[in-house]
Structure 1
Amino acid sequence: MTRLLHITERDTWEAARPTGWYRMSTRGVSLDQQGFIHCSLPHQLRTVAEFVYGDGDEDLVVLVIDSELLGVPLKYEAPEPGADEFPHIYGPVPVGAVTGVVPVERDAEGRMLLPE
């Protein structure tokens, strides 16, 4: 199993739960618009979180996704040649594949406190 991480707004996650499927790619962009759901490996999360959500004060959570429970294609792709490859999920994530939901807090300087 690979532990995939996806940062999102708490409201977006809560809205997905009763449907059984999570369908957001990234901040303000759906799976249908992007074609895949952006994820990170643990060592990539801070860079992604700061790039996508560093300017806001949204109520965020990190979804911990079990790659073996996806049932849809998972590809590792680099945003440009020679760059680090990021996991991309090519289909909706079943809520049952989300094995953890970690609230994102901020320290006194506003820096996100993220899971390791």
Structure 2
Amino acid sequence: MVGRMARILHIAFVAEWEAAKAARAYRISTRGQSLDDGARFIHASRPEQVSLVANIAYADVTDPLCLLVIDTERLVSAVCDEDLDGTGTTFPHIYGPLNPDAVVDVLPYVRGADGRWPEVAPQAVS
């Protein structure tokens, strides 16, 4: 379990987040994968990791994206900081559905003028 990780981020399609609010549970692990399809956890990031993930996993996306700002202390599912691919970099993983009331803010995430997904400043989520 993670100690006081405070706030973490999840990259979401706006339409999927809207549907999750209505269903009272967000179950999307990452692009094209869901807890319902066998994914073990929901991928999340710290602010400094968002653009790296977005520019790899969402490079060709044209649909609107948003960043879910998650207060880890409000989560009903466990969150663990893990290095699952042995790179020496850990990412927060939520083991179970994301309860919408743990999402304390939703930020629009828009490509920069250079066509890349931009860096996220830590103060944007504090």
TM-score by length of 1: 0.92
- Residue in 1 that maps onto 2:124: none
Post-superposition CA distance 1:38-75 (Å, at most 9, x none): 00011111111111101221210000000000021111
Q: Which amino acid aligns with 1:85?
A: T
Distance (Å, rounded) in 2 between the aligned partners of 1:66 and 1:8: 16
Query: How much is the aligned-residue C-alpha RMSD, in angstroms?
Result: 1.4
Distance (Å, rounded) in 2 between the aligned partners of 1:74 and 1:14: 23
Q: Which runs of 5+ in 2 are unaligned?
A: 122-126
Shift of 1:82: 4.4
Distance (Å, rounded) in 1 between the aligned partners of 2:119 and 2:20: 22
Cα 1:94–1:53 change in 2 (3 A) is: same
* Residue of 96, 103, 112 corresponding to 1:98: 103
- 1:21 aligns to 2:25 (yes or no): yes
Q: Which runs of 5+ in 1 are unaligned?
A: none
Question: How many residue pairs were aligned?
Answer: 116
Asked whether the equivalents of residues 104 and 114 of structure 1 are also in contact (C-alpha less than 8 Å), the reply is no
TM-score by length of 2: 0.85
Asked whether the equivalents of residues 105 and 114 of structure 1 are also in contact (C-alpha less than 8 Å), the reply is no
Shift of 1:115: 3.3
Distance (Å, rounded) in 1 between the aligned partners of 2:81 and 2:27: 19
Aligned counterparts, 1:61-76, within 5 A: 61-76=66-81
Shift of 1:106: 1.9
Q: Secondary structure at the match of 1:102?
A: strand
Shift of 1:114: 4.9
- Residue in 2 that maps onto 1:8: 12
Distance (Å, rounded) in 2 between the aligned partners of 1:58 and 1:100: 20
Distance (Å, rounded) in 2 between the aligned partners of 1:105 and 1:80: 28
